[in-house]
Structure 1
């Protein structure tokens, strides 16, 4: 197994490969993002990790830019070039942001679905109502 040197890493992008995102093309998105990073010789500054479900299935495909704390939604393979260009320019890919961390809490982009609380009791109550 490889042990990457992360000394020059500026962006760690977490690519959801949970079942909902996979059905929406997460594997193709993962390959496109990694190819774009390689094409731009940015492997030392942008590190990728496939994750399991990130809990925002409605927003598929989800990508998180860490350590900035910016969550992106509805990313498609055709977004790969523009998305990676934005990271390399230290800018956000504005049109696909769902949440961003301001140092204290996450700010939700107004058009984005709020979602449900993670508290198990509330989830049970919601599912009984539905």
Structure 2
């Protein structure tokens, strides 16, 4: 697979906990939206196993931005791809707590 034009890599958690919460549907919705938007050469996806945020799943991680999206739904996944198309962030899903510290990249 040629990846030279890829600008975003989307990691889709499909670990056991996320799968129970709808990760497969999120994965399918995101991949379909990428296809529908004609972004197959710009956005690459990878299904992962556990990303370690089980209570907040399904999770989606976007690189190289390093943004972690929690509690994703198929609808939020479609919105995320719309935002990535114009190099924006999905603002309402971007907060996480790591080691007791709350972080948010909402602008």
TM over 0.5: yes
- The Cα RMSD (Å) is 1.5
**Counting strand residues as a fraction of each chain, which structure ranks higher?**
2
Which residue is equivalent to 2:64?
A: 67
Q: Name the residue aligned to 1:90.
A: 87
What is the distance in 2 between the residues matched to 1:92 and 1:21? 22
Write out per-residue CA displacement over residues 56-78 of structure 1, whole angstroms, 9 at most, x where no aligned residue.
Answer: 01111100001110000011011
How far apart, in 2, do the equivalents of 1:72 and 1:78 lie?
Answer: 13
Structure 2 spans left out of the alignment, 5+ residues: 97-101
How far does residue 82 in structure 1 lie from its aligned partner after superposition?
A: 1.1
- Normalising by structure 1, we get a TM-score of 0.73
Q: Give secondary structure in 2 for the equivalent of 1:15.
A: strand
* Aligned length in residues: 100
Q: Which residue of 1 aligns with 2:104?
A: 109
Q: Higher relative contact order at CA 8 Å, sep ≥6: structure 1 or structure 2?
A: 2
Residue 54 of structure 1 pairs with residue 54 of structure 2:
no
Deviations along 1:70-90, one digit per CA (max 9) or x if unpaired, are: 000011011122110111110
Q: Which runs of 5+ in 1 are unaligned?
A: 100-106, 111-130
**1:1-130 mapped onto 2 (5 Å cutoff):** 4-99=1-96, 108-109=103-104
Q: Provide the rounded CA distance (Å) in 1 between the counterparts of 2:3 and 2:95.
A: 27
Q: Please identify the structure whose Cα radius of gyration is greater.
A: 1
| SS of residue paired to 2:31 | helix
Deviates more, 1:34-43 or 1:75-84: 75-84
